[in-house]
Amino acid sequence: MADSYLLVTGDGCFKAGEELLRLVTGLPRRGAPADFQRALAELDSPGAFATLVANGTLTPENTRPLHRRIFSALLQPRLTLLKPLVQERAFRRLGLDPERCGSKAFALNGLLAASGAALSAAVWLLAPRPAALHGGTGAATVLLALAGMIVHELGHSASTWALGLGARPIGLSLYLYCPVFYTNVSGIRSLDLRGQIAVSLGGFSAQTLYMLGLEAAFLATGQDALLLALQALSGLLIFNLNPLLHTDGYWCYHDIYERFQERRWVRALHTAYLAAFSGYTVYLVWRGGLFLSAALRRFLADGRLCAGEGVRLLFCGYLGVMLAQGVRARMGEVLKR
């Protein structure tokens, strides 16, 4: 039997010994303190209740008023879409064996992430511009793009699985008014630098494979929805490399810079990387400003906006808030150094 077990909660991860695992499996999922103390007494550990509460194994039930819990759930829901056990069964069927794949995760994810960045740049520079969103094309595009975002999170979970940290729950929440998918990757600081970067790049690698599938399908069918979804995911991949925000690219950059910051080549890389993505951020703001000014002129002339323009306005506002928060956070880091 193993000396320790990895327990993954919704937003945490910790190792537990055999004794703690024995206690946890013998306790009810919820109940009054007396219920837990009675169960612990039956497990010959009557004094363990305070310890289990102190280390976070047992957590108090949310006692906020019902209307506040409903309001919070509407503003920022946290829905689990894919549980770890479901993913692990799928990973095994796909042949993802931690003993064989773990040592290859860094190289494979790095290669696929670089390929995805090149593919994304090619899509934006070379791909034809399809017709605007309309009817069934718009719905299909949104569904394909959302599926790609879930695949991105699966890449992170598959990487933690391959590196021996287990698959992770994938959830859905809201940031401002936009849906966001997330993966709990806590515990990766126990990995070496290559392992941490492999997990951060895992989303890019899975997304790249999905985008290659979209590209092949578009070349075979010529459907606009496939190209629109591919363009949306290409923009998202490049955006996720931006070190001004807490994106996957930021954590790769952060981990490398923290480890090698005293070396001259890393300082040069630091300057070039920040300059490139500061320019990219200015470009995003410029394009957003052009769209906003055009939309305002049409609104003043016609007195209305079409649904597509309304959605793009909301998305521009979302990106604006994210960029403002990112710049503020990075400025805070610079001032602390």
Phi, psi of 171 (to 5 degrees): -130, 170
83-123 confidence digits (pLDDT tens): 888 898 888 888 777 777 778 889 999 999 999 999 998 88
Task: Note the pLDDT of residue 215.
Answer: 93
Identify whether the C-beta of residue 226 lies closer than 8 Å to the C-beta of residue 214.
yes
Task: Note the pLDDT of residue 330.
Answer: 66
Identify whether the C-beta of residue 209 lies closer than 8 Å to the C-beta of residue 112.
yes
User: What's the burial of 54, exposed, middle or buried (CB within 10 Å: 0-12/13-18/19+)?
Assistant: exposed
Task: Note the pLDDT of residue 266.
Answer: 80
Please tell me the pTM assigned to this model: 0.73
CA pair distance 171, 278, nearest whole angstrom: 30
306-335 confidence digits (pLDDT tens): 656 666 666 677 777 777 777 676 666 655
Task: Note the pLDDT of residue 1.
Answer: 41
User: Which portions of the chain are predicted below pLDDT 50?
Assistant: 1-2
Identify whether the C-beta of residue 292 lies closer than 8 Å to the C-beta of residue 312.
no
CA pair distance 52, 38, nearest whole angstrom: 14
> What are the tokens at 241?
């490399």
